[in-house]
Amino acid sequence: MSDLSILGRRLPKVNAWAHLTGTARYADDIDLPRMLYGRLLRSTRPHARIVKIDESRALALPGVVAVVTGADMPEKMGIMPSTQDETALAVDKVRYVGEPVAAVAALDEDTAYEALSLIDVTYEDLEPIFTIEEALTRDDVKIHETSKRANVFKEVHLSFGDLEAGFARADHVREDWFFFEGNTHAPIESHACVASFEPVGPGGGPGGDGKLTLWTSTQVPHYLHRELEKVLGLPRSRIRVIATPNGGAFGGKSDPFGHEFSAALLAMRTKRPVKITLDREEVFYAHRGRHPVKMRIKTGVTTSGEITAVEFQSYLDGGAYASYGIATTYYTGALLTVTYRVPAYRFDGVRVYTNKPPCGPKRGHGTTQPRYAFECQLDKIAADLGLDPIEYRLRILQPANTRTVNDLRVTTMGLGECLAAVRNATGWTRKREELPRGRGIGVAGSAYISGAGLPIYWNEMPHSGAEIRIDRGGGVTVMCGTSEIGQGSDNMLAAVTAETLGIYPEDVHVVSGDTSLAPVDLGSYSSRVTMMAGNATKSAGLRLRAQLFEVASARLGVPAERLAAAYRRIYDQKDPEKAMTFVEAANLAEAKYGTLVAAGSYTPPAGIGGSYKGAGVGPTPAYSYQAAVAEVTVDLETGQLTVDKITTAHDCGRALNPTNAEGQVEGSAYMGYGEAVVEEQIFRGGLHKKPSLLDYKLPTSLDTPALQAILVETMDSEGPYGAKEAGEGPLNPVIPAIANAVFDAIGVRFDETPITTEKILDALGKRDNRGLPKDRIGPTGLSDGKGDPKRAMRRLHASTDAREKRR
Amino acid sequence: MTKVMLTLRVNGEAHTVAAEPHHTLLEVLREELALTGTKHGCELGECGACTVLLGGVPVLSCLTLPLQVGDAEILTVEGMAEGTQLHPLQTAFAEEGAAQCGYCTPGMLLSAKALLDANARPTRGEIAQAISGNLCRCTGYTAIYEAIENAAAKGGRDEVPAMKR
């Protein structure tokens, strides 16, 4: 029996009622007096110099109030301070079709839209770069002058353990190439923001003596706050960012965006509120989604399957700007070691610029692509060795409470329980034996972080802060800078507060995502909120609870350590009749201590990662683990792939709310399914091929497989009440599980995503009348067979070594 | 462009508004009547977020011109509850965790209501068909099926709100 009163129960979310009655206020629902409507003019060229922008015709259109261009905000910005290569609006050069170039504010949206066609931009076209191969080799074309070699954005080389000895003692070595296609978040709510600028003085000072408020659908109000200061030249003390409820985000709203700066500047210029809402097509250009990645993995194993060494290379197509690219690059290599024992590991990664919308973090950030590759390769190794894929994985698990070869600290480790759970739930063993050709079952495991161990900009301050205030009437307000993106963070704050103080979640008022009212939380990314904001909230609640217990102890004549709080009462655990209400205790405490307010904060523990360069990406207070089994049917005549069912078991520590945790697991499975079979962000000559929800197909209810979520609770001591993450990790095993199931069904390896009908027909030799059946679909090297696939990486090594020597 | 006067019957109330004749029902509901519970995800008829009921039938308000509506009764999410009494679908969506970010939820609720009004005990296949025009990016639809089945099983009005302890 749990001794908790709120956590662990299937209670409706505290913000469910607003969602269900239409009263939740998303950014585009905000309407302010005298508000203007803004729109962005976007580049029509993939790579071009801006020769001239003439906005005079637009300004002459009745109803147009202001136009701004890149020249008005030339300051470089970007989410990672070390790689800021963007401007709010393009300056001098455009680098992808859809890049914002100018912004207009008008009395109504129709006029703003019309004004865009009256802004005359003269471009001088430059040669564009669209592929990883071109980007690595074309020294003559530079998307960014900062690239030292060709169009390389970042390269990393890490080596751990004795790789040579590892491969030497291997009985079997596999080397495979994979390609993971790019795809995008496609939240149903497009990005939107409203900026308002209110005077605070006579004018003339920085920013004209005013205060800026920006309501915006962002996952990272704090980081945006910093960038607004930098770009607008307005002190951060004069800026308030309010993250509105996000109508879905999935990583797509975690960069600072041009429309946010533009709305802010237009509001400052016009002294009127300005709203900018992106349309659906623009959301595809804003992107920051899953990187297309080519990967090579070489793995050595003994005859029993024990891994002796892994060598992994990743080539990331980053698009036109940095975004989180440094972190993404490291993430492709960092977490391969936390699931199975790897005694020697080498990782080489390179991310390049191309003239396409910038890639960034999407659910599973940078770990999804390598996990797909690795789990597909493990499936091949199991087949090579004649082992059952689940049994095989169970043999080689990384143990709990250990450190990996790349110095990551592992605490609780529930992958074994997850694998056993999906095996039992699906009838795996029987189905592996009995399913006929055309039907298949496949498995994969994975892991994810419960929050990044380090912040995005270097500092020693807490990663999350929370403040709780108790009102005389018993109402409690919790304030935390978290952004509610649909993952349930507001409910988590209310539930942890309620549990800690012994009240109900509906007694708690939640103030989140507001940089003026709430302490900093770094944002809703890297699955960090439950771990970090949850711990901060618990810590604040415990301080207040100590005060309540102090006064209750004196009044009830019971030692404070014997008291407990639940159901709006504080009571003696030995004699629950000895009790007082929460309100009585709060009034006594306020009389004794004054106003009841407490703050708590959380910083991840030291020593959870290594000290080498690049060790900052990968460590986390606790890893989540998950396993998925996919069951598929392939029509051998039409090539139609049907995923019948996905069963996912997820080690989430304690499930603070099982209904919500299952919802994250199911939603992750759905999103992984879409990536595996249909979704692709692809281009033709720099033009997005499908920038609409009709062409970029999201799985509908009729497409989505039956989904089953199983929670495995490991109770991690790092998490608040034992919790780990649930929002991202469960996506990762789904894609390789589907690929492995397709192999089980038709004997074809799909070493690239998505697994489309066309590719299946090709593999079956039925795409045209001349085709021959194939046993594999996927890349054979970096350049798809053209030239030496390893040459590019060798050249990268040589140039890195040369630079290191010069240092 | 010259605005035209329109009288729309929304959630049992008659509203007379002046609106641009080319503006969609979605725009008029959100911008003229401040009924922002109706959402937009694409304004091209692809996502279903803007679904409202027109004479009990789900329509995409982003593809509907108010001038076409005449005096047909429009129901938006704001009109689903009767006073403080939530519709059983709303209660069931809360209990099953069928709204994550909540953005597709208004349209989803209205499609589900039209289904249950026509078919009191739909199969899961019928539910999937009925909501196939409403894209949800968060849930994977499972919790939504469960919520609609839960509401259907209760039938009629929800007498005892589940949240009261």
Nearest Cα residue in chain A from B90: A20
Average pLDDT over residues A74-102: 98
Confidence band for B163, pLDDT divided at 50, 70 and 90:
very low
Poorest-confidence range of A455-464, A482-491, A793-802, B134-143? Answer: A793-802
B145 vs A contacts (CB less than 8 Å)? 701
The token duo for A334 is: 């960092």
Contact status of B150 with chain A (Cβ, < 8 Å): no
Contact between chains at B95 and A12 (C-beta distance less than 8 A): yes
Phi and psi angles of residue A615, each rounded to the nearest 5 degrees, phi first: -70, -10
**pLDDT at res. A205:** 58
Shared domain for A263 and A393, answered yes or no, is no
Interface size between A and B, measured as CB pairs under 8 A? 177
The per-residue pLDDT for A192 is 98
Question: Quick one: average pLDDT of A305-330?
Answer: 98
Q: Looking at residue A204, what is its pLDDT?
A: 59
Q: Does B53 touch chain A (CB under 8 A)?
A: no
pLDDT digits (tens, 9 = 90+) for A424-480: 999 999 999 999 999 999 999 999 999 999 999 999 999 999 999 999 999 999 999
Find the residue in B nearest to A246 (Cα).
Answer: B101
Contact list in B for residue A37 (CB cut-off 8 A) is: none
Instruction: Report if residue A208 sits inside a domain.
Output: yes
Q: Which of A217, A656, A692, A701 to mutate to test the interface with B (most CBs of B within 10 A)?
A: A701
Of A20, A488, A506, the CB nearest to B93: A20
What per-residue confidence (pLDDT) applies to A788? 47
pLDDT, residue A208, reads 63
pLDDT at site A522: 98
* A interface test, pick of B137, B149, B165 with most A CB neighbours within 10 Å: B137
| One domain, residues A359 and A334 | yes
Q: Which of B34, B46, B142 sits opposite A693 (nearest CB)?
A: B46
Name the minimum distance, in Å, from the CA of A188 to any CA of chain B: 5
Cα–Cα dist A802/A791, whole Å: 16
Provide, as residue numbers in chain B, all residues whose Cβ is less than 8 Å from the Cβ of A189.
39, 41, 101, 103
Question: A262 and A103 in contact (C-beta within 8 Å)?
Answer: yes
Q: Which residues of B touch A188 (CB under 8 A)?
A: 39, 41, 47, 49, 101, 103-104, 135-137
Question: Do A413 and A481 share a domain, yes or no?
Answer: no
What number of residues does chain A have? 807
ipTM of predicted assembly, 2 dp = 0.95
CB contact under 8 A, A110 and B20: yes
Q: A23 contacts in B (CB within 8 Å)? A: 37
- For the cut 70, the answer to whether the pLDDT of residue B1 exceeds it is no
- Whether residue A481 sits in one domain with residue A441: no
Minimal CA separation from B85 to chain A, in Å: 11
**A218 vs chain B: nearest CA distance in angstroms?**
13
Query: What class, spelled out in words, does domain B88-154 have in CATH?
Result: mainly alpha
B109 touches chain A (CB under 8 A): yes
Residues A97 and A173 in one domain: no
* A29–B129 C-beta distance less than 8 A: no
User: Residue A325, Cα to own-chain centre: how many angstroms?
Assistant: 13
Q: Whole-angstrom Cα distance, residue A739 to residue A618? A: 26
What pLDDT is stored for residue B165 in this prediction? 32
| Domain around A750 | 156-184+289-453+612-777
Give the SS3 label for residue A283: helix
pLDDT at A770: 72
Q: What whole-number percentage of chain A has pLDDT above 70?
A: 96
Interface check for B18 against chain A (CB to CB < 8 A): the answer is no
Give pLDDT, residue A795.
59
Q: Which of B50, B126, B141 to mutate to test the interface with A (most CBs of A within 10 A)?
A: B141
Residue A214 lies in a domain: yes
Q: What is residue A747's predicted lDDT score, i.e. its pLDDT?
A: 97
Q: What is the CATH number of the domain that holds A222?
A: 3.90.1170.50
- Beta-carbon neighbour count of residue A297 at 10 Å? 21
Residues A437, A483, single domain; the answer is no
The answer to whether the CB atoms of B135 and A20 lie below 8 A apart is no
Fold agreement (B4-79, B88-154): no
Q: What is the pLDDT of residue A798?
A: 66
Please list every residue in chain A whose beta carbon sits closer than 8 Å to the beta carbon of residue B105. 19-20
Q: Are residues A705 and A568 in the same domain?
A: no
pLDDT for A673-685, tens place per residue?
999 999 999 999 8
Residues A546 and A638 in one domain: no
Mutate to test the interface with B, among A10, A17, A19, A734 (most CBs of B within 10 A): A19
B73 at interface of A, judged by CB pairs closer than 8 A: no
Residue A109 to chain B, least CA–CA distance (Å): 11
pLDDT of amino acid B43: 94
Domain regions of chain B by residue span = 4-79, 88-154
Residue of B nearest to A488 (CA): B100
Q: What is the structure's pLDDT at A800?
A: 59
> What is the rounded CA–CA span in Å between residue A568 and residue A478?
17
Contact list in B for residue A21 (CB cut-off 8 A) is 37, 77-78, 80-81, 86, 90
- The domain tally of chain A equals 3
pLDDT for A558 equals 98
Domain-located, residue A490: yes
**pLDDT score of B157:** 44
Peptide bond into A754 cis (omega under 30): yes
pLDDT(B164) > 60: no
- Note the pLDDT of residue A209: 78
B161 close to A (CB below 8 A): no
- DSSP for B55-68 reads TTEEEEGGG--HHH
Q: For chain B, what percent of residues have pLDDT higher than 70?
A: 93
The string of pLDDT tens digits covering residues A194-230 is 999 998 877 655 556 799 999 999 999 999 999 999 9
- What letters, b where the CB count within 10 A reaches 16 and e where it falls short, cover A209-248? ebbbbbbbbbbbbbbbbbbbbbbbebeeebbbbbbbbbbb
* CATH at residue A318: 3.30.365.10
Tell me, yes or no, whether A318 and A342 share the same domain. Answer: yes
Q: What's residue A206's pLDDT?
A: 53
| The domain boundary residue, chosen from A568, A602, A636 | A602
Torsion of CA B127, B129, B133, B138, to 10 degrees: 50
Whether residue A583 sits in one domain with residue A703: no
Asked if A333 and A206 sit in the same domain, the reply is no
Contact A20 B90 (CB under 8 A): yes
pLDDT category of residue B156 using cuts at 50, 70 and 90: low
| Tokens found for residue A233 | 């030249």
Q: Which residue, A563, A579, A602, sits at the end of a domain?
A: A602
> B127: which chain A residues are within 8 Å (Cβ-Cβ)?
701
| Dihedrals phi, psi of B121, to nearest 5 degrees | -130, 70
Structure tokens at B15: 């509203």
| Residues B53-111 pLDDT 10s | 999 999 999 999 999 999 999 999 999 999 889 999 999 999 999 999 999 999 999 99
Per the CB < 8 A criterion, the answer to whether A91 and A21 are in contact is: no
Q: Report the residue of B50, B103, B139, B146 to disrupt the A interface, i.e. the one with the largest count of A CBs within 10 Å.
A: B103
Check B37 against A659: CB less than 8 A apart: no
Strand ranges (E), A25-106 = 36-42, 48-54, 64-69, 93-94, 100-106
Task: Provide the β-strand partners of residue A307.
Answer: A301
Residue A545 pLDDT greater than 70, yes or no: yes
pLDDT tens, residue by residue, A745-792: 999 999 999 999 999 999 999 877 677 899 999 999 988 544 444 555
Kindly state the average pLDDT of the residues A147-171.
97
Q: Does residue A147 lie within any of the structural domains?
A: no
Strands A749-750 and A706-712: unpaired
Q: Is the pLDDT of residue A284 over 90?
A: yes
Query: Which among A247, A693, A706 has CB closest to B103?
Result: A247
Q: Which CATH class is domain B4-79?
A: alpha beta
- Domain co-membership, A503 together with A579: yes
pLDDT of residue A802: 66
Q: Kind and range of the H or E element at A429? A: helix A428-434
Placement of tokens 């027909």 in the chain: A761
Question: How far, CA to CA in Å, does A356 sit from each of A95, A135, A284, A361?
Answer: 7, 12, 11, 16
Tokens at A608, concatenated: 């959870």
Q: What is the C-alpha separation between A4 and A803, in angstroms, rounded?
A: 57
Q: Outline where DSSP puts E strands in A131-231.
A: 152-160, 172-180, 192-199, 210-216
Confidence category of residue B28, pLDDT binned at 50, 70, 90: very high
Q: What is the mean pLDDT of chain A?
A: 95
Residue (of A728, A723, A716) closest to A665 by Cα position = A728
